[in-house]
Structure formats: C-alpha cells, structure tokens
Structure 1
Amino acid sequence: MAIAVALAKLASLGTSPISSIPNVVSLMTPLTIGQVTILFMIVLILLEAAFLRHESSPWAWLQLIPSVIFGVLIDAFTHWLSWLPLQHYGAQLLATLLSIVILAWGVFFEVNSKTIVMAGEGIAGAVAVATHREFPRAKVWCDGAMVVVAIILALFGLHVLVGVREGTILSALITGRLVSAYTRWWPQLVTWIQA
C-alpha cells in the first residue's frame, strides 16, 4: 500500500482519502508524507480510544507497528520512484489509476488477513462500534471526513486547494469496488489468506 501512496503523491492528482491529510500537511510543513502519516496514525489511534472509551484496548497500540513501517516505506518509495516522468496529465492519471489498483490489493490483503489493521481502518471500526453503524458506512463517513479536513487544511494553511484532487475522488469511488471485485474473482486466494 505504501507504494500506492507514493505513486499517487508523485502523480500530484491527489492521494487516497486516508492519505489526504498527511499529503496536505506534508505540503505545509518540512515533514515528509511518511513522517506525517506516522503522526497521523497516532492521532487516529487516540481517536479510536476516545470513540471506544471503556471498550478501548491497549492492544490497539499494536497498530503503531505497521503504521511506522508504512510511513517509512511511503518515503522510501517516494524517493525510489521520483525518476518517473510524470510531468504530463496522461502519465499522472495513469500513475494515479495504477496507485488505486495497488492500494486495492493492499486493502484486500489487509482486510482478509484478519490480523492487525492499520489505524485508518481501526478508526472506522471504532466509529462503527460507537455509532452502532455497519463498518462500510463508517468507513465512507471517515474517508469523507478526512477529505473535508484535508481541504480545510489546504485552504486555510496554503490558501489554495492542493493535495486533494480528482485522484482522491477516483480512489474513493474505485478502491472499495476493486476490493469487492478481487474478493469475488479470487475466492481461493481469500481462503488461502485467511488460513
């Protein structure tokens, strides 16, 4: 998934909703998108605890392990892929679409592995429990809220809308559908992952 975020960042057409806040903050500060992602994941884990209150578990902090690895890998892939010629819109759009396909694969494996989820899914799970909503609805709400916050940060912090563009919208519309399609197309793979 880190390579997907890096590719979307380099394409400059907007990242996935979960990465939109770190993307915008990285444009406002000297911090990299990977560094901001790690800090953002800590904030999400704290928000999970706030939503779940007494139901919160110290085990939720285990989400920090993949979050740190994720942030470091985002920066590594951003550096390694910086040679890509993404100056033209067609190349940027192609890179964005490829990032969405890769991101969907990552989410597919994460969701089906039944192991530690990243804080982005963890906060959606906490919102689902706290509001008595189904996870998919809570996930859409959380993603939408993150995009709105990213837009507000960009407009107030940079006085221009950057970091959230058509790539963000495409990611929001396509990623979940691709995960569902992968699940339908490869049920044997789902069984193998869950074993």
Structure 2
Amino acid sequence: MAKRIITLAFGITVMGFAVALAKTALIGTSPISSVPNVVSIITPLTIGEATVLFMLVIVFLEWVVLCHGFGWHNLIQILPSLLFGAIIDVFVSFLRPIHPQTYIAQLSLSLVSIPILAIGVYCEVNSNLLMMPGEGIASALAQRFHKKFGTMKILADSTMVVAAALLALVCTHRLIGVREGTILSALLTGECVSLVERGLPRFTNFLRR
C-alpha cells in the first residue's frame, strides 16, 4: 500500500508540473486540463482551482452514468483531484518568471511537457490504487455502454477539448486556451506512456505487484 500511495503521489506531482509547464507555453494544455485552462483565462480562478471544480463535475457525471453502480471508489477520486489542483498552482507560481518570447520557445516547452505528463500518467495508472476523474469517466462510460476503455478514453478526451473550444468561443469569440499544444498532447501522450511501459518492463512489473 505504501508503494502504491508513493507512486500515485509522485505521478500526480509530475502531472501537475507538466500541466503548469504547458500552461506557461501558452499554446494549449492536455485535454483533461483544456477546460480548466480556458476557465482560468476567462475568470479570476487559477487553473488549479478550475481543475478541482472541473474534476468535481466529472465525478458527478460518473454518478449520472453509473447510477447505482457509483461507489466509494468513484467518490474518493475527489481526494487526489484536490492535491492535483494545488500542485498545479504551486508549479505555475514557480514557473511564472519564465516567459517564452518566440513561438519556437513556446512549442519547445509544450513538447517537453508531453513526455513529462506521460511519466505522470504512467505512475498514476500503474499505482493500482485509484483513478483520477479523467480516467474514471472513461471507465464509467466503458462499463455503462460495454465498450473498450481506450475507445471511451478517446471519446472523453475529445469531448473535453471540444467543450473547452466552445467555451472559449462563446465567452471570448476567440479560440483561446485550446491550440496546437492541446492537439499534440492528445496525439502523443498515450504513445509516450506506451514507450515508457515498453522501455521499463521490470519496473512496470514491480509497480503492479
């Protein structure tokens, strides 16, 4: 249990840093953070605060999808979400002195954030402790509609990106907060997670035991 808690906490910390780094790049964050990123731009909320609120909405949607199948393992997802939001804001403050002046610098920061995010996701998933709401809603949809988790994860991520884009367009009439960095993250993060798993088979087995 101690190993699982440490692995999950490390994964959440790394994911928080990756989100903060992508936020600093200014060309879009990961799909799960796309809505909070837009909310943080159009409201006084920080991206961490918006992340916590968004995670609560996702847990509520899990309840809607699962109804009587909703249990403590779904509700407890709120706890790591609180930690995740707080860590994002800590790292955003830490990275505030960084101001990428050119598009190449922005793109470089965004690309660096993707493998870092993948490492965090790898640790989260292989902790075998609990899911974050981003994966929880995909699991709930897979269970409810008898589909593969991977298929529902793609659907959930795509829906979040579309929702973020629509929110930005409705509120600002511009596509802010959702840009090429979001698309790159959606396309490459899963592949990077697979590369880590293939490259560290013994460590993966150690985490899963």
TM over 0.5: yes
Query: Residue 43 of structure 1 aligns to a residue in which SS?
Result: helix
Matched, 1:51 2:71: no
Letter in 2 for 1:91: A
Structure 1 runs (4+) greater than 4 angstroms displaced:
none
- Confirm or deny that 1:90 pairs with 2:81: no
Alignment of 1:1-195 (within 5 A): 1-195=15-209
Contact kept, 8 Å, 1:85 with 1:91, in 2: the verdict is no
Tell me, in whole angstroms, the C-alpha distance in 1 between the residues paired with 2:92 and 2:105: 16
Q: Decide which moves more: 51-60 or 101-110.
A: 51-60
The Cα offsets for residues 89-126 of structure 1, whole Å up to 9 and x where unpaired, read as: 11111110111011000111111111111111101110
List gaps (5 residues or longer) in structure 2: 1-14
Counterparts of 2:57 and 2:63 in 1: how far apart (Å)? 10
Residue-pair matches, total: 195
RMSD: 0.8
The sequence identity of aligned pairs, in percent, is: 51
In 2, distance between residues paired with 1:87 and 1:41?
A: 32
Q: TM-score, normalised by structure 2?
A: 0.91
TM (norm. structure 1) is 0.98
Shift of 1:59: 3.0
* Structure 1 gap ranges (5+): none
Distance in 2 between residues matched to 1:29 and 1:147, nearest whole Å: 18
* CA distance in 2: counterparts of 1:59 and 1:142, whole angstroms: 19
Q: Give the match's secondary structure for 2:203.
A: helix
